[in-house]
């Protein structure tokens, strides 16, 4: 049986030979990237859209020659927003021979994968795996729990909060702030930095509420909104993502809560629709690494093509674009898709970013530093192209933080391979 298969393959090879000469891409080897993120449950709404980003980016890379000449294929794994499941899925990916991994949603999952990959690499020298983190932003991942095999393209919580609190500092109408976050590693970290930074920069601001709620389990935020209302807060600061931000805003709209929102992820699925419903024009802010409406032409083209392809879905993750392009450059420079070679080239890389400016992958902790933007959501200005979720409202940049101003110290002491 095996002989006949080989024979057939050889026959096919002979038959295809002229074609091969004509288009070398057919004969290209594959390199697989394991995408480990929630594809079911409360985190699925963001996980599915993240997957689309990577599939789109893989096509872009493949059209331009792939990763060091190899075609990229994205293989999705559902981690159900659960750290144990993330490790199971990472193991599954590695068992299939996939040694490039990426994940973004949930810092608890990220920590589990980072630790797993590091241990795996210790035990399997020569067969290392590498973990590209595009969105898990707990500072611990590039500090106490940093790893040589983990690279992060998203700004960590402290960087984002530094940017956001600098912006809040100059807004005198903020007097009473309510904090609401998800009860897990990232949410707790978020609560800590927002408390510290707001108190340091604006001691006059009163923190009237400091809430933690279960992660991705609440379907009705009305009780929390009643509490925010009762606290007399004029502003809410939240790191909620996925359905936790969309439903929070939806409940706020239902109750007619009139406050300013300082968020990390209000742009996620369902968020823009809910903001429009609240009628809070330019009173909901987020902090991110790019804005389609003010992006360079190439990025706007990318945005248009992406939206056309996926029925209006927005490019949420300019960082994923930066990630894949930087990985491609590293692979090209190294002439290899070996994780070890890619990691060596990524360290200290400087790269022109998707949304303009230059990114720098710091060698000490593998954190990318990049310009950050504070945006607000409201009716589109004339001449701006991109609204969100068909609302007619779009994001507008209100403040920019230069990459060099986002640099924070690190306590990372990583073990480097010999």
Partner 1 sequence: MLELITFSTLNGVLYGMLLFMMASGLTLIFSMMGVLNFAHASFYMIGAYFGFEISRRIGFWPGFIVAPLLVGAIGALVERYGLRRVHKYGHVAELLFTFGLAFIIEELVQMFWGKLPVDYRVPPSLDFVAFRLFDTTYPAYRMFMLATAVAMFVFLFLVLKRTRVGLIIQAALTHPSMVAMLGHDVPRVFMAVFGVGAALAGLAGVIAGPALVTQPSMAALLGPILFVVIVVGGLGSLAGAFVASLLIGLVQTFAVAINASLADVIGPSADIFGDLGRVTVAQIAPVIPYLLLVLVLVFRPTGLLGNRES
Residues that bind partner 1 (CB under 8 A): 39-42, 44-45, 48, 183, 209, 211-214, 217, 219-220, 222-224, 226-227, 229-230, 243, 247, 254-257, 269-270
- Taking the C-alpha atoms of residue 203 and residue 106, their distance in angstroms, rounded to an integer, is 31
Minimum distance of partner 1 from residue 316's CB (angstroms): 14
State the Cα torsion 340-91-100-317 to the nearest 10°: -130
Minimum distance of partner 1 from residue 51's CB (angstroms): 11
Minimum distance of partner 1 from residue 234's CB (angstroms): 13
Rounded to a whole number of angstroms, the distance between the first and last alpha carbons of the chain is 45
Kindly tell me the sign of the dihedral angle through the C-alpha atoms of 130, 136, 138, 142.
positive
| Residue 368 host element (H or E) | strand 368-369
Minimum distance of partner 1 from residue 184's CB (angstroms): 12
Q: Which residue has the tokens 């804005």?
A: 291
- Taking the C-alpha atoms of residue 215 and residue 106, their distance in angstroms, rounded to an integer, is 10
Structure tokens given for 112 = 């589990």
Minimum distance of partner 1 from residue 115's CB (angstroms): 23
Q: Return the number of the residue (105 or 291) whose C-beta is nearest partner 1.
A: 105
- Diameter of the chain by CA atoms? 80
Determine contact, residues 197/189, Cβ cutoff 8 Å: no
Q: Which residues contact 37 (CB under 8 A, 6 or more apart)?
A: 43, 46, 47, 50, 51, 76, 77, 78, 79, 103, 104, 105
Q: Return the number of the residue (167 or 310) whose C-beta is nearest partner 1.
A: 310
Q: Return the number of the residue (355 or 387) whose C-beta is nearest partner 1.
A: 387
Minimum distance of partner 1 from residue 117's CB (angstroms): 26
Minimum distance of partner 1 from residue 256's CB (angstroms): 4
Residue environment code for 296-309, b if the CB has 16+ CB neighbours within 10 A, otherwise e: eeebeebbeebbee
Q: Return the number of the residue (44 or 321) whose C-beta is nearest partner 1.
A: 44
Q: Return the number of the residue (270 or 356) whose C-beta is nearest partner 1.
A: 270
Q: Return the number of the residue (36 or 39) whose C-beta is nearest partner 1.
A: 39
Kindly tell me the sign of the dihedral angle through the C-alpha atoms of 6, 8, 14, 16.
negative
Minimum distance of partner 1 from residue 195's CB (angstroms): 15
Q: Return the number of the residue (148 or 221) whose C-beta is nearest partner 1.
A: 221
Q: Return the number of the residue (3 or 219) whose C-beta is nearest partner 1.
A: 219
Which backbone phi and psi does 379 adopt, to 5 degrees?
-55, 140
């Amino acid at each position: 049986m095996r002989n006949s298969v080989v024979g057939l393959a050889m026959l096919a090879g002979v038959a295809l030979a002229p074609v091969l000469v004509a288009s070398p891409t057919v004969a290209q080897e594959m390199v697989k990237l394991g995408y480990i993120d929630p594809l079911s449950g409360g985190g699925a709404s963001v996980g599915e859209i993240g997957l689309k980003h990577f599939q789109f980016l893989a096509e872009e890379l493949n059209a331009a020659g792939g990763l060091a000449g190899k075609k990229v294929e994205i293989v999705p794994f559902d981690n159900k927003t659960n750290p144990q499941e993330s490790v199971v899925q990472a193991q599954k990916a590695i068992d299939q021979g996939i040694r490039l991994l990426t994940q973004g949603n949930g810092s608890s999952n990220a920590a589990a994968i980072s630790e797993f990959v590091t241990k795996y690499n210790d035990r399997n020298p020569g067969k290392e795996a590498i973990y590209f983190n595009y969105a898990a932003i707990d500072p611990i991942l590039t500090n106490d729990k940093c790893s040589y095999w983990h690279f992060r393209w998203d700004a960590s919580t402290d960087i984002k909060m530094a940017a956001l609190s600098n912006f809040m500092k100059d807004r005198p109408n903020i007097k009473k702030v309510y904090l609401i976050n998800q009860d897990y590693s990232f949410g707790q970290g978020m609560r800590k930095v927002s408390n510290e930074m707001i108190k340091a920069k604006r001691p006059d601001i009163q923190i009237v509420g400091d809430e933690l709620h279960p992660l991705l389990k609440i379907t009705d935020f009305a009780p929390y909104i009643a509490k925010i209302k009762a606290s007399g807060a004029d502003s809410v600061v939240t790191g909620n993502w996925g359905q936790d931000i969309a439903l929070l805003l939806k409940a706020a709209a239902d109750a007619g809560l009139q406050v300013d929102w300082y968020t990390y992820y209000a742009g996620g699925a369902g968020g823009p629709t809910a903001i429009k419903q609240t009628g809070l024009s330019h009173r909901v802010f987020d902090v991110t690494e790019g804005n389609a409406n003010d992006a360079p032409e190439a990025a706007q083209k990318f945005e248009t093509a992406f939206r056309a392809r996926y029925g209006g879905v927005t490019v949420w993750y300019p960082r994923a674009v930066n990630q894949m392009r930087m990985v491609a450059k590293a692979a090209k420079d190294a002439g290899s898709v070996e994780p070890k070679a890619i990691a060596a080239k990524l360290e200290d890389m400087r790269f022109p970013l998707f949304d303009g400016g230059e990114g720098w992958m710091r060698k000490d902790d593998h954190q990318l530093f990049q310009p950050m933007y504070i945006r607000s959501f409201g009716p589109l200005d004339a001449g701006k192209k991109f609204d969100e979720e068909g609302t007619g409202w779009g994001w507008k940049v209100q403040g920019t933080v230069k990459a060099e101003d986002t640099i924070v110290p690190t306590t990372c002491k990583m073990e480097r391979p010999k």
